[in-house]
């Protein structure tokens, strides 16, 4: 009987006072066809469950390369559902002997979780150039503060896999070697600002496809 009474009244409650709030922003799935803004992409319309789901980290990345490693991102560009939510992810696959070279993420801190194998990881502080390193086994986590140089490499005898999460939807990835050698920054300038020898610079420029 309470039920019978409740029915018509709650329904009117349902449709009346809260119907005006249709613009509430619970989330803002990126419309990648629009220009980005400093706070992220404009929100797409017509959102479904699939927008909050990403399958692209399920498969191992291809580590058949010299570094024997692959970084598979789930940043806003690949996974638009993280837009505006302050988080994103990536998968690391590192074969035996493989390495994710020294790099920074200019726009996020990183939290690494080892799901397979053994990873040696480290980061370097800016003030005192102190090195913080750990050997990480399956189930271990390590955090790398935003903007600091860090690296990971396989420290074991089998493939290593890690999930990494970032404190922003678009963390960026600046690999030092690429920044120095994989572009047209003249060798003389590279040498001047790094104190590296000319032969070293030209060698790595050649390897990484840089010019100048």
Residues 178-207 touching its own copies, rule: CB under 8 A, are 178-180, 182-185, 189, 192-197, 200, 203-204, 206-207
| DSSP conformation class of 60 | P
Is residue 95 part of the contact set for its own copies (CB under 8 A)?
no
Q: What is the number of other CB atoms lying within 10 angstroms of the CB of residue 14?
A: 10
CB nearer to its own copies: give 13 or 158. 13
CB of 152 to its own copies, least distance (A): 9
User: CB–CB of 84/28 below 8 Å?
Assistant: yes
What is the DSSP pairing of strand 174-175 with strand 119-124?
A: unpaired
Is residue 211 part of the contact set for its own copies (CB under 8 A)?
no
CB of 35 to its own copies, least distance (A): 4
161 three-state secondary structure: strand
Radius of gyration in angstroms for the set of CA atoms belonging to the chain, rounded to a whole number: 23
The residue count of the chain comes to: 212
- φ, ψ of residue 36 in degrees (nearest 5): -65, 160
CB of 2 to its own copies, least distance (A): 8
User: CB–CB of 121/102 below 8 Å?
Assistant: no
CB nearer to its own copies: give 84 or 156. 84
Applying CB under 8 A, which of residues 86, 94, 160, 187 lies at the interface with its own copies? 86
Applying CB under 8 A, which of residues 87, 96, 156, 159 lies at the interface with its own copies? 87
Is residue 119 part of the contact set for its own copies (CB under 8 A)?
no
Measure the CA angle with vertex 147, ends 175 and 124; round to 5°. Answer: 85
Residues 6+ apart with CB under 8 A from 135: 118, 119, 120, 155
CB nearer to its own copies: give 55 or 157. 55
Residues 139-158 touching its own copies, rule: CB under 8 A, are 139-149, 151, 153
Residues 15-44 touching its own copies, rule: CB under 8 A, are 16-18, 20-28, 31-32, 34-44
Applying CB under 8 A, which of residues 96, 156, 159, 176 lies at the interface with its own copies? 176
Is residue 1 part of the contact set for its own copies (CB under 8 A)?
no
Q: What would the two tokens of residue 177 be?
A: 């070697």
CB nearer to its own copies: give 160 or 180. 180
What is the Cα–Cα distance from 121 to 148, expressed in whole angstroms?
13
Is residue 160 part of the contact set for its own copies (CB under 8 A)?
no
Q: Is 55 annotated as a binding residue?
A: no
What is the Cα–Cα distance from 13 to 127, expressed in whole angstroms?
60
């Amino acid at each position: 009987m309470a039920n019978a009474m409740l029915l018509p009244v709650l329904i009117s409650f349902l449709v009346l006072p809260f119907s005006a709030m249709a613009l509430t922003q619970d989330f803002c799935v990126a419309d990648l066809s629009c220009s980005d803004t400093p706070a992220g992409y404009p929100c797409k319309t017509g959102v479904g469950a699939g927008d909050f789901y990403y399958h692209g980290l399920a498969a191992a990345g291809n580590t058949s390369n010299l570094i024997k490693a692959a970084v598979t991102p789930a940043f806003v560009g690949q996974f638009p559902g993280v837009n505006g939510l302050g988080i994103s992810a990536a998968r690391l696959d590192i074969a035996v002997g493989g390495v994710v070279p020294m790099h920074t993420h200019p726009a996020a801190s990183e939290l690494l979780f080892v799901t397979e194998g053994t990873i040696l990881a480290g980061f370097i502080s800016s003030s005192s150039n102190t090195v913080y390193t750990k050997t990480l086994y399956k189930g271990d986590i390590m955090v790398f503060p935003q903007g600091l140089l860090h690296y990971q490499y396989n420290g074991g005898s089998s493939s290593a896999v890690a999930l990494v999460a970032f404190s922003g939807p678009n963390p960026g990835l600046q690999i030092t070697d690429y920044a120095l050698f994989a572009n047209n920054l003249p060798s003389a300038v590279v040498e001047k600002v790094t104190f590296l020898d000319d032969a070293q610079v030209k060698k790595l420029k050649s390897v990484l496809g840089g010019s100048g």
